[in-house]
Structure 1
Amino acid sequence: MTSQEPGICEIDPWLKPFAPAIKRRLESYKKWINQNEGGYDKFSHGYERFGLNVLPNGDIIYRE
């Protein structure tokens, strides 16, 4: 793996021809997550807010 290839190319060598596109998309995704979702950690906890959730008083709420 070179410094320009994403780690997935080491796992699946068939992806090596697509390494530049994968890297570009990954960087774009990281930028979007940081700008629009407040970072990856906050984004990854979306399940705590969206979907069906039980409130402390026992009510059930659904958010999309």
Structure 2
Amino acid sequence: GEILCVIGESGSGKSVLSAAIMGDYAKGLRHTEGVIDFLGDDICTLDEERLRQLRGNRIAMI
């Protein structure tokens, strides 16, 4: 496995970035352009079922 640590000041967007990487956007937010690539899959184009399979098994936020 691999661990990625995101460090920054309070309010710098660490939680928003982490949620976006996991495909978990806050209500009212949506992806408009670009790619979030995770092991060859574009997180932004995956359906909810595939995201559920990745979360907890391959990717997690603590």
TM bin (shorter chain):
under 0.3
With the length of structure 2 as denominator, give the TM-score of the two structures.
0.24
Higher helix share: 1
With the length of structure 1 as denominator, give the TM-score of the two structures.
0.24
Higher strand share: 1
